[in-house]
Amino acid sequence: MAGPQDSEQPQWHEPQSDHHDPYQDESPHTGADQVESLTQEFYALRERAEATMTLASAWAENFTSLVQLEFRRTLQAGSRIVVMLLVLFFLAISLIVSICAGLGLLGYYFFQSIYAGFGIFLISQLLMIGGLLLAANNLKKLLGFDESRRQAKEALEDVTALFKQAD
């Protein structure tokens, strides 16, 4: 009497292990399904790379515009500072001349009422110089590339986050 094992071919049984191969799907896929899955992953990765490149090129264009605008603003503020410093220079010279002239008049008119007029003249020049210094100080705040630095730092953080996310 022949048993069922005699009529069939011998069956090989692989030993069962607890090790799971992450590269092997448990569902029965054919080779075509795996190729299609890999193709879809490749296209998704390519689309993501194209989107990243498009975003990076748009950001680079905007960043270039920002740097140009800040450079123009810096040049304008710098030229205004130079003009104000020229005015301040000539006012400082006139102040020195006025002080010298005032000292001379003080000696000549020691006991007359010219003091009040000379004091007002000096105070007005000091106020003009102080106002120009304050205006120049306010324009100094416009010098530099603060916004460009902030944008570059933000972009670097975004790229770093994107690479961390891809891992």
Residue 17 backbone class (left: φ over 0; alpha: ψ -120 to 50; beta: rest)? beta
Name the amino acid, one letter, at 58.
Answer: A
Q: 115-124: per-residue pLDDT in tens?
A: 666 666 677 6
Around 140, how many Cα atoms within 13 Å sit in the side-chain half-sphere?
8
| pTM for this prediction | 0.43
User: Could you list the residue range(s) of the whole structural domain that residue 110 is in?
Assistant: 71-166
Q: 36-85: per-residue pLDDT in tens?
A: 888 888 888 888 888 888 888 888 898 899 889 989 999 999 899 999 99
3-17, 71-85, 108-122, 131-145: segment of lowest average pLDDT: 3-17
Q: In the predicted model, what is the mean pLDDT of residues 160-164?
A: 81
In the chain, the number of structural domains is 1
